Structure 1
């Protein structure tokens, strides 16, 4: 019985033809990393994704859906074989505080290989002023022993001009605060220390005063930093 013998070239050609059959999608990159930015310096992140049709039939991007309302996209829905289009996106991060950002975009298409593709936009916001503690607990029984905080910033002449405590009224909601904050004595001490990111280190000493019972609320630090004029820390006084 006759059995056909196929060469390696023919076999590879058949495989290649199979792999390119129909519309096929390839996206570069799938994750766009903006990198690190300083708090308050960037309001919008622009990210571009290149979509290529590696198949032999038209690729149709049926939906390109951002994961939240802060992200908008613009794109061409039809990609001819062998051609590429852009998905242009923009993330509004105005008012975002320090921390990591991760925004998703879901692409649905008629691709044979990957009909659903998830794209990511990532970034990191570095605080304009880093504070060693996010929660303060003052000891009113020892007014001569200060609470010590360490702050760091790229601003070499950073200053804390005022420290106050705003107590929450007993039995009230989080939004109900007393009208008059309590002024607290403080001492601001620049140091010679510099962090690995070239930020300058400062020491803040906050002194307590006698009070009848512990109060919970917010410590408010006034600064001379244009991007961070006020630091708010929760705590007990």
Structure 2
């Protein structure tokens, strides 16, 4: 009898000391998701410990996912859920997102929950990001294409195609009932002076109820008379009292030759010297032994004889240990 009572007593003792967060599952697959839909699920859990469980934080990996527990405190043996919703409007194809749950479970203070799915669209846009590089600053027209098509709808319609920048034009052309091409063009001469790297946004409307408006970004980089490689200089983890040196190549791009009229560094311990190298020029950048401990961040400025590129700014970053 005593033995039976002892066994019964041991079975009624908590299996875990302290709070213990145990989820029924930590992964959920939404499967196929129509673009624009908001899908939801729940992650159920139980406090299997012998003290109050505190849900201290629930942090999704992106703003497209929301997750919030019903409450913060759960008694031993009490269960709860963390509802999770995902907005698919900004995504295409395979997606994987995480939700990190922080609690006072000493053995496992952070639990990572995973959601995944495959987002299919009424309207597919390729690309959604156009990169127009080395655009000459003249009257030449530089063109790119955005392809817009559907595999779900019987007929695709596009209207109200606009650009938020005057120097970027967008013209829709119907290829078939299921496909359109948007011709995007820019003229370097029309890009404001001083804006060598700029962006524009193309917006258009469709007849899809789930994707009534679509946006595509355009990145433009104007061709420079002098190509600088690399664009920045780094001297990280430099030893105190030891000099270091590196080279930046200055290559004529739209001109045959150029002159460097003046050089200036805003860091006293950074020196720079220009050397000719068979039509190109090299900038020798030296970190002197006068650099003090700590991080530094400065700029080398070169003045040239070119009207379209009168100055070249080369960032210099690093640290001395």
Corresponding position of 2:75: 78
* CA drift at 1:73: 0.6
Q: State how many pairs are aligned.
A: 189
CA contact (8 A) 1:97 1:125 kept: no
Shift of 1:122: 1.6
| Residues 1:189 and 2:176 are matched in the alignment | yes
Does structure 2 conserve the Cα–Cα contact (< 8 Å) formed by 1:109 and 1:116? yes
- Name segments (4+ residues, structure 1) moved above 6 Å: 137-140
- When Rg is computed on C-alpha atoms for both structures, the one with the higher figure is 2
**Which structure's relative contact order is higher, taking Cα pairs within 8 Å and 6+ residues apart?**
1
**In structure 1, what is the Cα distance between the partners aligned to 2:185 and 2:17?**
76
Output one character per residue of 1:65-101: Cα deviation in whole Å (capped at 9) or x when no partner: 2115832111560123xxx61323233x458511535
Quote how far apart the aligned CAs of 1:203 are.
3.1
How do 1:61-210 and structure 2 match up within 5 A?
A: 61-67=53-59, 70-74=66-70, 77-80=74-77, 85-91=79-85, 93-94=86-87, 96-98=89-91, 100=95, 102-109=97-104, 114-124=107-117, 126=119, 128=121, 129-136=123-130, 147=145, 149-167=147-165, 184-190=171-177, 202-207=178-183
Instruction: Decide which of 20, 26, 30 is 2:22's aligned counterpart.
Output: 26
In structure 1, the residue corresponding to 2:189 is in which secondary structure? coil
Q: 1:209 to 1:135 in 2, by over 3 A?
A: closer
Residues 47 and 58 of structure 1, relative CA distance in 2, 3 Å threshold: same
Distance 2:160 2:76 in 1: 59
Distance 1:96 1:66, change over 3 A: farther
Structure 2 unaligned blocks of 5 or more = 1-10, 192-198, 221-321
Change (3 A) 1:120 1:110: closer
What are the Cα deviations for residues 40-86 of structure 1, in whole angstroms up to 9, with x where unaligned? Answer: 221x5231223262xxx624212242115832111560123xxx613
**Mapped contact 1:159–1:188 kept (Cα < 8 A):** no
Deviates more, 1:71-80 or 1:202-211: 202-211
Quick one: which of 42, 49, 54 aligns to 2:44? 49
Task: Give 2:35's aligned residue.
Answer: 39
TM-score for the superposition, normalised by structure 2 = 0.45
Secondary structure of residue in 2 paired with 1:213: helix
Give the CA deviation at 1:227.
1.5
Give the one of 201, 204, 208 matched to 1:225.
208
Alpha carbons of 1:137 and 1:26: their partners in 2 closer, same or farther (altered >3 Å)? Answer: closer
**Does the Cα contact within 8 Å between 1:148 and 1:203 map onto a contact in 2?**
no
- Asked if the contact 1:158–1:223 (Cα under 8 Å) also holds between the matched residues in 2, the reply is yes
What TM-score comes out, normalization by structure 1 length? 0.58
